[in-house]
Amino acid sequence: MQRCSPISCLLACVLGLNCGEAEVYYSLLNKGFADVDEIAKTIGKDKTTVYRALQSLSEKGLVRREYRILKSGGYKYFYKPIPVKDLEGLIHRKVEEILRELKFLTSKV
């Protein structure tokens, strides 16, 4: 079983993601914009797993889906992470929440 990278584990912990979601999200942060095939190839997972992770990330408000019309005909969905500024704010709020909880727990000891 492949382990999460340290940054993916941190994202998973702070944002409440599972390891697979964190790997997909981190891949998108690095690429900025990608389709399911590209993400699956990058992280070495099957497309179904990546698609499920993207759906969950979308429901959590971390990823946006767009479709693009292909020159060859048809369309394809592409995914991109929320803007880094929004992500920074979200992480900041979550870390503050964790620190408040930790202070509360240690004040009882």
Helix and strand totals (H; E) in the chain: 5, 2
Determine the average pLDDT of the residues in 30-38. Answer: 94
Q: How many residues does the chain have?
A: 109
Residue 86: pLDDT band with limits 50, 70, 90: very high
Inside any domain, residue 53: yes
Q: State the average pLDDT over residues 47-69.
A: 95
**CATH at residue 75:** 1.10.10.10
Asked if residue 17 has pLDDT above 80, the reply is yes
One-letter amino acid at 80 equals: K
Residue 87 lies in a domain: yes
With a cut of 90, say whether residue 41 has pLDDT above it: yes
Q: By residue range, what is the domain housing residue 63?
A: 6-107
pTM: 0.81
Helix (H) or strand (E) holding 67: strand 63-69
Q: Helical H runs in the chain?
A: 6-15, 19-31, 36-43, 47-59, 84-107
Residue 26 falls within a domain, yes or no? yes
